[in-house]
Structure 1
Amino acid sequence: MAKVNQLVNTMLGQYKIKQLLGKGGMGAVYLAYQPSLDRDVAVKVLIGEFVEDPQFVQRFIQEAKIIAALEHPNIITVHDYGVENDISYVVMRLLTGGTLEMRLLQKGKFSPKEALRLLTPLADALDYAHQKGILHRDIKPSNIMFDVQNRPYLVDFGLAKLTNQNFSLTNTGFMLGTPNYMSPEQWKGETLTPATDQYAFAAMTYEILTGKMPFTADSTHALMHKHLMEEPPHTVGDTKLPTAVYVVLLQGMAKDPKDRYPSVKAFIRALAHALGETISHKPNTSAQKNRSRLMYAGVGIIGIGILIMMIIGAMQIRDMQNQTSSPTPTNIINNTFGMILAKRAYEEGNYRIALVRYNEVISQNPRAYWLYYERALVLYALNRRNDALDDLDSAIEYYADYADAYLLRAKILRDLRRYQEALESINRYLALEASPVPEALEIKSTLEALGGV
């Protein structure tokens, strides 16, 4: 078997190998000349121990068939594939504009306009592949290449999988994916879906906007823990992502695939909205009509929600008139939409997104006592009990007779086995609430049985 450098100046089929362009985990890519059409092409060959493994040979040929079946202006074109002297090869269009990885190294982060101009056609390409039943499974900057016109392309479908195939190529012990961009379900060896590609795409988007990967670590195990358990930093160096953008990225990288956007294009549309940009893709007419109907319906729903929140806000302002420093009506109305989104995220179980939204709203309404209570509910759901207690203390500081805050405080103190304090809180709740919930009486009974100690 010829070594990688020994293929230079040899022939593979009709293709004369001219020079090595690069090596990856499974293959090497060469610049080659095709005399029949008088053009340069890229030739990828399977290398190393993978040449001896029938499953990897199968995966390599699968890549050629997969890409050859895809017809999209932002997916690299396969011209040919074959086997010569036991060397499996794929012939592709030669892209000479370099990789996204190289551009990130050169310039760091992209501006919002540059990012959307790059990502929008790639999202369309990825969704197209998903519609054809194909997952890429290794989205990352080095797998985005450019032609001389600066058009981006998805390349290297070597880890791709047809979603309707009955066989698996993943039982060889070979890690499918690149650790810095791998989704939680990839780390856990679970079933992969289009949402898996969305996670990597969102992670790559984070890097494009900040110049840094969302997670880095000194070991693979530590990196896995971050992907499974942590959120990417809101602030990277001197770059603080706008909260609306950060929330979109969090949803695109949600730990549970079901919490991500319904498609990669939906993620990009949300990102464009958060960045205040307009996507220039021309929509299908019928699809545009449907979106317009949904948009008007959505505006109506949001309008009703804002009206309700304004009424609630007014009631809460009235309740706070005797407090020393209450938020002004203008501040509350200006933050009503954020309040709706925060509450909706909590009710849908998207607690981390809800927390980000509440942080933003509270920073602009620092004396809105009920927001501390609502954020405490989120923190309680995230098992951050001590932080929840701090928020409840803030709520009570601004509104000493806030009954619901005392009830939640009693529950948390009970969980922390601080029974005497819990009993004091539940008694305060019962003194304030004319129609207490049955749970409160049960809590009081339990705490009294424990002796309040």
Structure 2
Amino acid sequence: MNSEFSGEQQDMLFENLPNTRVFKTIFPKGSYIGPYQVIEEVGQGGMARVYRAYHQKLERFVAIKVMDKQVVSQEDHQRFVAEAKLTARLQHPNIVAVLDVGTALGLNYIVMDFIQGTSLRDIIQNGPLPIDDACKITKQIALGLHYAHNKGVIHRDIKPSNIIITKDNRPVIMDFGLAKNTKMAQDITKSGVIIGTPKYMAPEQIKGDNRSISRATDVYGLGTVFYEMLTGKPVVLGETPLSVSYSILNKEVLPPRNYRSEIPQDVQTICLKTLEKNKQKRYRSANALADDIARFLNGEAVVARQENKFYLLHKKAQRYRLWFFIGMCILLGLLNVLQFFFFNNQDQNNDLQEKYNKVLVKLQNLKSEYQRASLSQNSSKNMMTLLQAMDCNIRNQPLESLNIVESIGESVNKKEQALIFCYRAYFLISAKRYREARESLNQAISIDPSLSLAYFLRGKIFVYFKMHNNAIKDFEYFLTQKNDVEIVLLLCDTYLLEHRYTEAQNKLQDLIKLSPSNYRAYHGLAKCYLHQEEYNKAITYSVETLKKNRKFPPAFYTMGYAYYFLKQWDKSIQFFTRAEALDPTLRYTISYNDTFTPFFYFRGIAYKKQGFLREAFNDFSKGIRFFQNPSSTNRIFNLCLVERARLYAKNNKHTKAVEDYNTVRQNSPHLLNEEDVRYLEKHK
């Protein structure tokens, strides 16, 4: 294969890649954007700047969002145009109004009402809102969203910073830049691409399942804002997008009353219903949410709790106190009559109680018979207990799963006994008790040496303990029993850790022959060549990977590293940035080989080489935060500290520079050069 890009490959690889160069404000104070005179720049985002401007003839202030064509991709440009078209057809008091669109100096712009008010994000930073205020604001936003939904628009980025609260306490929804037009045949965002702000994303957004984006997605987003208004805390806590995404998908939301006990139970129930992981369990529309909040504000029963009969009775009693009191008097009178008959017919009641107990026993027996009938004849009691344990594990209860498995007695069937040990190990792995899991797998293999699942699980544990050769033996044995593509790829990754490149390449080439469309096999070869420092070949096979899957983040990461080591800084930055856009949760930056992760350090160096020091500083800081519990000897962690210290020193922030340098000197002093040491001596 030729390592040079063809014209078609160039188009494919650089399509939608943002230009990372920094630009200065194009429209200074006093300049004109069309007929609008710029007063000041009020904000900027990833692809646009926002100005406050004045239309002299109309004598009104406006906000103008100007796209920067130097930093946006073609997809971003399409979004910008789509935002103007979508928002222009929305006329609602809780949605910012679009007044005009145009072009100035070749740049597209959108003119909107200038909303005098405060960002909800800034309000929440001062603490939780009064409960009634939070409810009223949520209700109004829900009505605005319902209007947009009926016009075929899903916002997809509801968060506090996109909501302005006016002086008369009216919330206004801003920034429809990521909105989805449900009336278009095809969305700008393709399936698999994750867009939005992680802390406020619904589970279906985190998964990149854009076909599942619906009204319920905005209901979830509004639920996160409601939760934050009530508690002053975000729904999920996490330092990295990866940890945030894991929490959204796997962890239950902490009830708001845990933070603030005075929150009414009805309000908590409404809030938690909006945050259901299963979108079918959320409110069916934003309007249904608004209606339920209105019920609470009016003292009525809320729909979210109507399955509870005692709750309904309680609410009705509160609302109709007089009639409830009369009804209770009548009921007490009836009870007195029944009590009279009960004591005068004690023998008869004893007979009735005995008959009731017999019926209850029969019902329990029928239930047991039904359960037995519904099971396969070959399923033993132990196997059914295993299924019960699996169910607990699926519900993220590994310790409960372990307790269930531990209750299983010794099986007469040796294969079954081996399988029980195997599943016990599986639950131990879920509970992060790896040494016990390995012992359990050793027992499973000693009972049934042909149990392939045990070898696979033990191989994974060996990888965790960096016993790579042992892992390779287990994976190779598994493949003699069962041919599985995933295990082949896992084996090849493990070969790379032991520098057994030829074996990895042979396996991957065989896999490509069997399955020519397997893009992960091509990427496996790209990684092989990257490890062997054959960077042009790594790029070639990454190109082949992207021909088969244009949205595969690891291929972009690999090209970012390859171009980094080729010292082609521009391209390295572009490919790392593209990978990050496709992989905001950093799911693919973690592999078995920590040498190339995280990418922030490498992109930071590339930015530094290009003279973009602010971007370099941000990446080094991200690299430091990436390690939530860093080992003091972690090379990448300490390299990021060294580089950040040098940038602090360059900007005369000596206290912070010394702090970073001292951490490195304590952890890995060999990473400091003579200039670093002299700086430390000078600024003791």
Per the normalisation by structure 1, the TM-score is 0.61
Deviation at 1:236, TM superposition (A): 7.2
Could you tell me whether the CA contact under 8 Å between 1:50 and 1:57 is conserved in 2? no
Aligned equivalents of 2:299 and 2:107: distance in 1?
44
Match of 2:408 in 1: 419
Could you tell me whether the CA contact under 8 Å between 1:95 and 1:148 is conserved in 2? no
**Structure 1 residue matching 2:90: 3-state secondary structure:** coil
Amino acid at match of 1:177: G
* Per-residue deviation, residues 369-424 of structure 1 (Å, max 9, x unmatched): xxxxxxxxx97983648669xxxxxxxxxxxxxxxxxxxxxxx97x51523499xx
Match of 1:119 in 2: 138
**Structure 2 residue matching 1:74: 3-state secondary structure:** coil
More helix per residue: 2
1:212 aligns with 2:233: yes
Distance 1:173 1:27, change over 3 A: farther
The residue correspondences of 1:8-407 to structure 2 (distance < 5 A) are: 8=28, 9-47=30-68, 49-51=70-72, 53-106=73-126, 108-171=127-190, 175-190=194-209, 191=211, 192-234=213-255, 238-240=259-261, 241-271=263-293, 273=295, 276-278=296-298, 382=395, 384=397
* Per-residue deviation, residues 114-163 of structure 1 (Å, max 9, x unmatched): 11221211110101111111100000011111334332111100111101
Aligned equivalents of 1:297 and 1:130: distance in 2?
28
* Per-residue deviation, residues 25-46 of structure 1 (Å, max 9, x unmatched): 3221101111220111110111
**Structure 2 residue matching 1:200: 3-state secondary structure:** helix
Aligned equivalents of 1:278 and 1:175: distance in 2?
39
**Structure 2 residue matching 1:218: 3-state secondary structure:** coil
**Structure 2 residue matching 1:231: 3-state secondary structure:** coil
Deviation at 1:176, TM superposition (A): 1.7
Amino acid at match of 1:81: V
Aligned equivalents of 1:260 and 1:421: distance in 2?
45
Distance 1:302 1:21, change over 3 A: closer
Deviation at 1:112, TM superposition (A): 1.5
Aligned equivalents of 2:246 and 2:184: distance in 1?
30
Deviation at 1:5, TM superposition (A): 2.2
Could you tell me whether the CA contact under 8 Å between 1:4 and 1:47 is conserved in 2? no
Amino acid at match of 1:208: M
**Structure 2 residue matching 1:30: 3-state secondary structure:** strand
Aligned equivalents of 1:103 and 1:385: distance in 2?
40
* Per-residue deviation, residues 268-308 of structure 1 (Å, max 9, x unmatched): 443455xx42299xxxxxxxxxx9xxxx99999977xx9xx
Deviation at 1:228, TM superposition (A): 0.5
Aligned equivalents of 1:86 and 1:379: distance in 2?
59
Distance 1:238 1:133, change over 3 A: closer
**Structure 1 residue matching 2:50: 3-state secondary structure:** strand
Could you tell me whether the CA contact under 8 Å between 1:120 and 1:279 is conserved in 2? no
Aligned equivalents of 1:204 and 1:220: distance in 2?
18
Q: Cα RMSD (Å) of the superposition?
A: 3.7
Aligned equivalents of 2:287 and 2:280: distance in 1?
16
Deviation at 1:229, TM superposition (A): 0.6
Could you tell me whether the CA contact under 8 Å between 2:139 and 2:289 is conserved in 1? no
Deviation at 1:167, TM superposition (A): 2.5
* Per-residue deviation, residues 28-71 of structure 1 (Å, max 9, x unmatched): 110111122011111011126444x3332221121111111012
**Structure 2 residue matching 1:416: 3-state secondary structure:** helix
Amino acid at match of 1:78: V
Aligned equivalents of 2:398 and 2:185: distance in 1?
46
Could you tell me whether the CA contact under 8 Å between 2:181 and 2:187 is conserved in 1? no
How many pairs align?
A: 309
Aligned equivalents of 2:309 and 2:117: distance in 1?
43
Distance 1:271 1:4, change over 3 A: farther
Amino acid at match of 1:170: T
Deviation at 1:265, TM superposition (A): 2.7
Aligned equivalents of 1:152 and 1:105: distance in 2?
17
Aligned equivalents of 2:55 and 2:111: distance in 1?
10
Deviation at 1:99, TM superposition (A): 1.0
Amino acid at match of 1:382: R
Per the normalisation by structure 2, the TM-score is 0.41
Distance 1:199 1:166, change over 3 A: same
Structure whose alpha-carbon radius of gyration is higher: 2
Distance 1:99 1:298, change over 3 A: same
Deviation at 1:168, TM superposition (A): 2.7
